[in-house]
Amino acid sequence: MYRYDEFDASFVNQRTEQFKDQVRRRLAGELSEDEFKPLRLMNGLYLQLHAYMLRVAIPYGTLNGRQMRKLAHIARTYDKGYGHFTTRQNIQFNWPKLEDTPKILEELAEVEMHAIQTSGNCIRNVTADHFAGAAADEIADPRPYAEILRQWSSLHPEFSFLPRKFKIAITGAPNDRAAVQVHDIGLQLARNAEGEIGFVVFVGGGLGRTPMIGRKVRDFLPEEDLLAYSEAILRVYNRYGRRDNKYKARIKILVHETGLDELKADIEAEFEKIRFGVLRLPDEEVRRIEAYFAPPPLEVGASTSHTVEARKASDAAFAQFAAHNLNPHRVPGYTSVTLSMKPIGGIPGDASDAQMDVIADLAEKYGQDEIRISHEQNVILPHVKLDDLPALFDQLVAAEIAEGNAGLVTDIIACPGMDYCALATARSIPVAQRISERFGAAERQAEIGELKIKISGCINACGHHHVGHIGILGLEKKGEEFYQVTLGGSANENASIGEIVGRGFSSDEVVDAIEKLVDTYVGLRSGKEETFLEAYRRVGEAPFKEALYGAA
């Protein structure tokens, strides 16, 4: 895994010292809130409904046991014993005190972590496929490139005051698990005819109040041009992106208003000016960074394990877990295991300090000391020996993170919603909990098959509702919570924005409505192998609409 070099360590320490002094000056009255707010946001510190919230970066969702244990320690010592994994592969603490935050940042720096650029109008934490470096379908590990982008974008002086925030995602596999097409820049690793590595580049995707799928601007960007091209995109955005209206300030609006061809020409012109300059990636530097992500030494084994097969035959819960929570590994004899942070009726993405400690222990014992956080708010152990699965599963059961529901109807993404968030217009988590309870029976979930439900508590769409197969958006109508339902969204390589199915539902009605949609799907699918999304794309919205609102 990537280790901080002396530059990283020194800037993180510097930043921690600066923030400590800024907090001191704020408390002494030398800085007003208006002066302090942008400073605290640059260090991931928000003020929410009940308390401050600290968002800690987990670059490309990768961490190790020691780092996870530190997060557990912070949850226990400075917070209320839990943390919340987010859709940007970060973790949020919901109850830190302002006066404690410099100390928390110091503790994070001890394990090479920080909260820099988890907020503000800058380039945010770069996200990546959570199976990176392990997946069987991968062209190459995307994390070295994510790390190169992290180094380039960290405290980049030119891009510290962008018109609005800027999000980059990268995937190394043709099956996009990183939602790259709904990012400001989406990168998909590809190989050209000569076998060289490069990137398909998408620009201008995004969710929020104006959801858009990214537009392809390059079919193949050579590896060496990654930074120069990214810089060219950022420069064009920084120059022409709208600053007059916060709601029209993202690059997606610029793409939309300028037109793809003109914007592409602007990017290419800027790129030509800088492509042979300092940002050209030297091959040896890429290989040096790549070495940090060298795969752990894994012994090739049999692709089926007798231990696993025997346990599957005798234990239905294990069989369910094995059927849904494993992703094929590139090394036979290994698998990537999803630890579900979606217990039935639980809060999506929440982990207690004790669970974080267990995850750290299990990663060290069974997972080559590697942990990933997925944008779907789960935790992954990317390199687990098949033969170790039964023992691992038993310990997951004890820690209550063994639900075999990855990718199923109860594996719901939900933003914190109005239970925490100052921007929210309705609650998200309680809706997720009730849906989870409604569909919680193992057989029913398995029968329904792959179905992604995503819930946001406001139009900003942190819960990615636009790209849910079923999306739920919480709004306020006449003082009551009110939920709008969208169908047919997807964040994978065939990305699409969901369409509003009709009038929304009250909090009391919404779970029944979701059940009607699911039952309708089960009734009309061509077979069990046709997923909800495929069925929706085949038949369109009419039968779903009819199920919800009756015949027109």
Query: What does the binding site for another protein look like in residue numbers (CB under 8 A)?
Result: 26-29, 33, 47-52, 80, 95, 97-99, 347, 418-420, 424, 427, 429-430, 433, 476, 479-481
Residues in a beta bridge with 47: 52
For the bound state, the minimum distance from the C-beta of residue 109 to another protein, rounded and expressed in Å, comes to 23
For the bound state, the minimum distance from the C-beta of residue 433 to another protein, rounded and expressed in Å, comes to 7
Nearer CB in complex with another protein: 450/476: 476
For the bound state, the minimum distance from the C-beta of residue 460 to another protein, rounded and expressed in Å, comes to 15
Nearer CB in complex with another protein: 137/476: 476
Long-range pairs, 45-49, Cβ under 8 A, ≥24: 45/96, 45/98, 45/101, 45/115, 45/119, 46/119, 46/422, 47/422, 48/94, 48/416, 48/420, 48/421, 48/422, 49/418, 49/419, 49/420, 49/421, 49/422
Nearer CB in complex with another protein: 440/502: 440
Nearer CB in complex with another protein: 119/127: 119
Distance from the Cα of residue 362 to its chain's centroid: 22
Reading the block at residue 279, the tokens are 């940002």
Nearer CB in complex with another protein: 50/528: 50
For the bound state, the minimum distance from the C-beta of residue 294 to another protein, rounded and expressed in Å, comes to 41
- The span from the CA of 293 to the CA of 245, in Å, is 41
- The span from the CA of 63 to the CA of 112, in Å, is 10
For the bound state, the minimum distance from the C-beta of residue 346 to another protein, rounded and expressed in Å, comes to 10
- The span from the CA of 466 to the CA of 201, in Å, is 21
Nearer CB in complex with another protein: 290/419: 419
For the bound state, the minimum distance from the C-beta of residue 36 to another protein, rounded and expressed in Å, comes to 9
For the bound state, the minimum distance from the C-beta of residue 418 to another protein, rounded and expressed in Å, comes to 6
Of 26, 19, 67, nearest in space to 42 by CA: 19
- The span from the CA of 544 to the CA of 516, in Å, is 8
Nearer CB in complex with another protein: 98/391: 98
Nearer CB in complex with another protein: 84/183: 84
For the bound state, the minimum distance from the C-beta of residue 513 to another protein, rounded and expressed in Å, comes to 20
In order of 45, 53, 206, 499, 513, the CA distances from 248 in angstroms are 24, 26, 12, 21, 33
- The span from the CA of 457 to the CA of 434, in Å, is 15
Which class for 90: exposed (0-12), middle (13-18), buried (19 or more C-beta within 10 A)? buried
Which class for 120: exposed (0-12), middle (13-18), buried (19 or more C-beta within 10 A)? buried
